[in-house]
Structure 1
Amino acid sequence: MAQAWRCAALRWSAGNPELTWDGGRRSPLSWGKGVAFAVAPGEVRRCVGARGHPCPRRTPVPARSTGGRCEECARLDRAHSVAADTLADDPRPYHVYLAWFGPGMAKVGITAVERGSARLLEQGAVCFTWLGAGPLMAARRTEELLRAALRVPDRIPYAEKRAVRSRLPVDGAERAAELADLHARAAALAGWPESLAPAPFHPVDHVRAFGLDQDTPAAVGDVTELTAGGGVRGELVAAAGPDLHLRTARDTVVVLDTRLMTGWDLVPPAGDEDAPAAFPVRRFEAPGDAARQDGLF
């Protein structure tokens, strides 16, 4: 029987994507690299645990869950989360940022200064700019100020992010235009915390880092879940956030959210290398159309 691997996450190291595996193994990814794996028939997806600790019950979890955790482990994970406002006494300085994912799709957020731009790569931000830096609670108050005054959300679903990647403006200045306007409006607001040092507008573009500047076909849909007996074969043409853009044997590009890989025992695929491997795929909805579900990846 082939050795099974367990995916931990897709990480961005020095601006490049890599798959990480339980046990500390890493698989650096590059454009043109083949990605191939399968889920053995009869396999069940099980909870990945929390904060470096395995799930004591190895509880089965839904195939479509991007968290991959049971309720108990999800609560433990949130209990140590800045995003859940459970670490109010964190002494580290935080950046406030504006991130842009596509036309009409921008958000505000915070990230520890020590992490640099890693959080923006992990979220799949096509373009971003810093707004300022300061203590955690000052950063939180600034985030809330922008949400209320400018109606900028602090979360955007990944399904919406990936659906617009094929429609990104070619020109970098055009990609940064919405951020420039939001930054100017944010800077003009009254009520900024005194302890937050404002930052000038300086857009950082990730199109090249994500491989979205290449002349490759636009993605036509995304994998909705991994299934026992199914598999993936594809050539990596781009990556953004947790997503891998894979060119399949049918010469179409499909997006695989690597968060769906966690909790499964993954093995090498068997059979004809040119044969498509089956996973459910949801085609991106065209204007005026209903989303369609396909059975083949």
Structure 2
Amino acid sequence: MAWRCSGIGWPQEARMAVLRWEGGRVSPLLAGKALGFRAEGVRQCVGARGNLCPLGAVVPGRVTQARCPECARLDRAHSVAADTIADDPRVYRVYLAWFGPGMTKAGITAEERGSARLLEQGAVAFSWLGRGPLMAARRTEEVLRSALGIPDRIPYADKRAVRARLPATAGERAAEIEALHGRALALDGWAQTLEPLGFDAVDHAGRFGLEGLPPATAVVRELVHDGAVAGTLLAVAGPDLHLRTADGEIVVLDTRLMSGWSLVGADAGAGVSVPTAGLGVGTGGGVQDGLF
């Protein structure tokens, strides 16, 4: 039976990530679990905003967003990240997120989402900085970028490259954001409607399974028809699965590459028979209760 993946999720009530499937099923992602799948056919556009792609378009295997140009434009038109919803009435939070030494970014997320956005990005540690209306949060994000040189994006290739050699303690991992938090609160130019929040570091290394994680040797570049990805799950950080294959290789799979494909189960010993690259290169019968 073929399943279609609709992305990874980080339920607030659970301590583990799950893979979500069309139809509402989920597969818990447990460290030490054997998993495997094989792609079938072609990768199709997943549509936008809950609507099917009217063209049933085929999309490239190496892009992380499985949408054709038309559906991508529709999805972007309703995105907070694109600054197209200036009148959003929700409360937003500004955060500082740390992914490794020298890799701290600023960002915003709706307060109602809690820390989900940080988990989705693979933030190893973070602290809230302020809360208030959307445009005030946006202005503060821009002030931080211009005054302190804090970026709003960290490439995933950079995040993956350092996960196996992070500082050992939560205190060490939080040191950079603590220093930046203090500098940020001292800046002029904060929006008057944004409430500053005290430093309170949250560490995700344990939740991601990064402690003792061996260095990765390769990253999956794309899925292909009849290509398999299989192994034992070691860690999950953001959208990335770190797998140990049957031959001992440590391979990273960005689960965003799975969307749009029809997937069938494969034995955990099937290994990886899809295109890969070194780190730093862009990137039966009865009721079936899980693909793996």
The TM-score normalised by the length of structure 2 is 0.93
- Distance of aligned partners of 1:59 and 1:275 in 2 relative to their CA distance in 1, 3 Å threshold: closer
For 1:243, the equivalent position in structure 2 comes to 240
For 1:39, the equivalent position in structure 2 comes to 39
Q: In the alignment, which of 261, 264, 283 is matched to residue 258 of structure 2?
A: 261
For 1:23, the equivalent position in structure 2 comes to 23
The answer to whether the Cα contact below 8 Å between 2:245 and 2:272 also exists between their aligned partners in 1 is no
- Note the 1:77-88 alignment, pairs <5 A: 77-88=75-86
Greater mean alpha carbon deviation, residues 114-123 or residues 218-227: 218-227
- Distance of aligned partners of 1:140 and 1:22 in 2 relative to their CA distance in 1, 3 Å threshold: same
For 1:166, the equivalent position in structure 2 comes to 164
CA–CA separation in structure 2 for the residues paired with 1:49 and 1:226: 19
- 2:171 aligned counterpart, secondary structure: helix
Kindly provide the amino acid, as one letter, of the partner of residue 108 in structure 1. Answer: A
CA–CA separation in structure 2 for the residues paired with 1:172 and 1:221: 27
The answer to whether the Cα contact below 8 Å between 2:164 and 2:213 also exists between their aligned partners in 1 is no
For 2:146, the equivalent position in structure 1 comes to 148
| Shift in Å, 1:268 | 1.8
| Shift in Å, 1:29 | 1.4
Q: In the alignment, which of 187, 190, 203 is matched to residue 189 of structure 1?
A: 187
CA–CA separation in structure 2 for the residues paired with 1:7 and 1:275: 20
Q: Percent identity?
A: 61
CA–CA separation in structure 1 for the residues paired with 2:270 and 2:6: 27
For 1:278, the equivalent position in structure 2 comes to 273
| Shift in Å, 1:166 | 1.5
Question: Runs of 5+ in structure 2 lacking a partner?
Answer: 284-292
| Shift in Å, 1:276 | 2.5
Kindly provide the amino acid, as one letter, of the partner of residue 209 in structure 2. Answer: G
CA–CA separation in structure 1 for the residues paired with 2:74 and 2:157: 26
CA–CA separation in structure 2 for the residues paired with 1:80 and 1:122: 19
Greater mean alpha carbon deviation, residues 132-141 or residues 162-171: 162-171
The answer to whether the Cα contact below 8 Å between 1:244 and 1:257 also exists between their aligned partners in 2 is yes
| Shift in Å, 1:174 | 1.1
The answer to whether the Cα contact below 8 Å between 2:244 and 2:251 also exists between their aligned partners in 1 is yes
The answer to whether the Cα contact below 8 Å between 1:217 and 1:252 also exists between their aligned partners in 2 is no
| Shift in Å, 1:79 | 0.8
CA–CA separation in structure 2 for the residues paired with 1:24 and 1:73: 22
Q: How many residues were matched structurally? A: 281
- Distance of aligned partners of 1:251 and 1:28 in 2 relative to their CA distance in 1, 3 Å threshold: same
| Shift in Å, 1:123 | 0.4
For 2:289, the equivalent position in structure 1 comes to none
CA–CA separation in structure 2 for the residues paired with 1:259 and 1:66: 5
CA–CA separation in structure 2 for the residues paired with 1:255 and 1:117: 23
- 1:219 aligned counterpart, secondary structure: coil
The answer to whether the Cα contact below 8 Å between 2:231 and 2:269 also exists between their aligned partners in 1 is no
Kindly provide the amino acid, as one letter, of the partner of residue 7 in structure 1. Answer: C
| Shift in Å, 1:274 | 3.1
| Shift in Å, 1:162 | 1.0
- 2:206 aligned counterpart, secondary structure: helix
Kindly provide the amino acid, as one letter, of the partner of residue 250 in structure 1. Answer: D
The TM-score normalised by the length of structure 1 is 0.91
- Note the 1:102-113 alignment, pairs <5 A: 102-113=100-111
For 2:290, the equivalent position in structure 1 comes to none
Across the aligned residues of Structure 1 and Structure 2, the Cα RMSD in angstroms comes to: 1.5
* Residues 89-112 of structure 1: per-residue CA shift (max 9 Å, x gap): 000000000000001101000000
Question: Runs of 5+ in structure 1 lacking a partner?
Answer: 286-290
CA–CA separation in structure 2 for the residues paired with 1:277 and 1:78: 33
For 1:288, the equivalent position in structure 2 comes to none
Which consecutive aligned stretches of 4+ in structure 1 deviate over 4 angstroms post-superposition? none
| Shift in Å, 1:275 | 4.1
CA–CA separation in structure 2 for the residues paired with 1:59 and 1:253: 33
- 1:177 aligned counterpart, secondary structure: helix
CA–CA separation in structure 1 for the residues paired with 2:87 and 2:77: 13
CA–CA separation in structure 2 for the residues paired with 1:159 and 1:277: 19
CA–CA separation in structure 2 for the residues paired with 1:113 and 1:143: 15
Kindly provide the amino acid, as one letter, of the partner of residue 28 in structure 1. Answer: P
The answer to whether the Cα contact below 8 Å between 1:39 and 1:231 also exists between their aligned partners in 2 is yes
